[in-house]
Structure 1
Amino acid sequence: MSALKEFLTTFKKVPVTMKEMFQSNPNRFTEFSHVLKLAHGNILLDYSKNLIDTESFNKLIKLAKDSNVEKMRDAMFSGEKINFTEDRAVLHVALRNRSNTPIFVDGKDVMPGVNAVLAHMKEFCERVRSGTWKGYTGKTITDVVNIGIGGSDLGPVMATECLRPYASHIKVHFVSNIDGTHIAETLKKLNPETTLFIIASKTFTTIETMTNSESAKAWFLEHAKDPSHVAKHFVALSTNAKEVKKFGIAEENMFEFWDWVGGRYSLWSAIGLSIALYIGDIASPVTPPDTCNATIHSTLHRQPDVATAPQMSQVGKCQPSLLYTRRHFIYDASTG
């Protein structure tokens, strides 16, 4: 019998209520939980409330081993091109590699480039947040508009919503819909003298993003008049320096990211610039108290654990997916 069939067969015997499971095993919480000891506080991973018992747990670990999960994990961390459909590495882990252990792609260590972009982000954010960066009339920035779609929008939106209690004085807005109403309604409440636009497009040719960006630029120039002022109010998250310059953005205000960063993880790259402006220093591994350390620190410290931890500590993630079970999230709508 295959490891998968063994697991599924065993799982069918698992009691379907939490009450039964805890009654049959008084030590269930201890056995099915894991504490991550971090520099800024601990995080409890409690998977005792999942429909799994000791026998099915062991079968699940066996399935992971038979499926070479650890080997595949190591391949990802070592820079192998495990994205075989596009022949690319999958290295969002490099963006969170604060140990600076070399990570190679095609024989080149990507860490110097990663650190350069993160340092650039940090320097820029400090200037904007401190008021050193001025708009074309000499006023400081109060609002940031992120224009992007997909991974250039969803991750930053999620992070800024979740970490709203850590927000600074800068307000962040997100525009992704090609429908002109979205950009129009956003601009209606903004002052061009104090607004900064972030255009997030790797190629700088994405139709939806560039259409909205041109609309934002036209709105801005209605007030600023002089095209040279664009450089003070628009920055680019891109690798196409030629198109960025053509738009009117200074090349030093272009933040690079790489094809080995998937959209769902891109918030750790330059795509996270809006997050950093909103809640603090996303680039530094040692962040001051008023920044988004809850997310940054937990992930930075969690990553080495993922790279070396036994598979049993990962079970809380894989079990619901493997069984195609529905996951439900509790959210208090009153918090916004």
Structure 2
Amino acid sequence: MSTLTQSPAWQALQAHHQSLADVHMRELFAQDPQRFSRFSMQLDSLLLDYSKNRITGETLDLLFALARQAGVETQRDAMFSGARINSTEQRPVLHTALRNRSNTPVLVDGEDVMPAVNAVLQRLRTFSTAVRDGTWLGYTGQRIDTVVNIGIGGSDLGPLMVCEALKPYQHPAL
């Protein structure tokens, strides 16, 4: 099988991109008064506005065709079904189970992993509550007032982003 960049869907998208190269944004908005509505979405206070990019309805159709040709839907379904798609470790990726607040079963080898996931999340909740209310004491017998994040050698940008995003909710004693 050819690589994705040699696929017909990629070639069509590349030709489409070239056809839009000289199109000005003013033209696109003039041709489609509903452009902002068609090429933006909002969830609560988060606005994703992609209307100010050189895209058309055809662009989206071509992008979806490329995703289908690349097998994105198949891989998505495999992830949600608990298939072993982490080829490095030969195990399922369970991000979906960690975010599953509906308790819909997530099956791995025919077994629902949600009871175990919920048990670990409850232990984390109990521990973090005890740290915040001062009942979990550190090695010295004192309440914990400093938290140090020690990673495994990757980027610190993720934890930094979480700390910044959650600052308004921080506990005054930590």
**Interval containing the TM-score (normalised by the shorter chain):** 0.7 to 0.9
Structure 1 distance, partners of 2:156, 2:60, is 37
Amino acid of the structure 2 residue aligned with 1:71: T
After superposition, where does 1:49-60 map in structure 2 within 5 Å? 49-60=52-63
From 40, 43, 46, the equivalent of 1:43 is 46
Task: Work out the CA distance in 1 between the residues paired with 2:9 and 2:100.
Answer: 33
1:7 maps to what in 2? 13
Alignment deviations for residues 50-81 of structure 1 (CA, whole Å, 9 cap, x no partner): 33122222211222233332222111110111
Figure out how many residues of one structure are paired with residues of the other and give that number: 167
- What amino acid does structure 2 have at the position aligned with 1:24? Q
Question: Is 1:80–2:87 an aligned residue pair?
Answer: no
Measured in 2, the distance between the counterparts of 1:135 and 1:19 equals: 62
Q: Amino acid of the residue matched to residue 135 of structure 2?
A: T
- Equivalence for 2:72: 69
Note the alpha carbon deviations across 1:210-240, whole angstroms, 9 max, x for none.
Answer: xxxxxxxxxxxxxxxxxxxxxxxxxxxxxxx
What does residue 23 of structure 1 align with? Answer: 30
Within a 5 Å distance, the mapping from 1:100-249 to structure 2 comes to: 100-136=103-139, 138-150=141-153, 153-171=156-174
Residue in 2 aligned with 1:212? none
Q: 1:83 to 1:17 in 2, by over 3 A?
A: farther
CA RMSD of aligned residues (A): 2.4
Match of 2:42, SS state, is strand
Identify which of 27, 32, 39 aligns with 2:39: 32
Superposed CA offset, 1:84-126 (max 9, x none): 2332212211100111111122232211111111100100111
Distance 1:170 1:107, change over 3 A: farther
Shift of 1:23: 3.0
Aligned to 1:330: none
Which residue identity is paired with 1:18?
M
Is contact 1:147–1:153 with CA below 8 Å preserved after alignment?
Answer: no
Task: Check conservation: 1:80, 1:89, Cα contact below 8 A.
Answer: yes
Cα distance, 1:165 vs. partner? 2.8
Match of 2:4 in 1: none
Greater RCO, CA 8 A, separation 6+: 1
CA distance, structure 2, for counterparts of residue 170 and residue 80 of structure 1: 43
User: Structure 1's 137 and 87: CA in aligned 2 closer, same or farther, altered over 3 A?
Assistant: closer
Q: CA deviation at 1:152?
A: 8.6
- 1:151 shift after superposition: 5.1
Q: Per-residue CA shift, 1:265-303, capped at 9, x if unaligned? A: xxxxxxxxxxxxxxxxxxxxxxxxxxxxxxxxxxxxxxx
Q: Compute the TM-score of the two structures, normalised by the length of structure 1.
A: 0.45
Change beyond 3 A, Cα 1:116–1:67: same
Looking at secondary structure, tell me which structure has more strand per residue: 1
* 1:146 and 1:153 in contact (8 A); partners too: no
**SS in structure 2 of the partner of residue 115 of structure 1:** helix
Name the stretch that deviates more: 121-130 or 141-150: 141-150
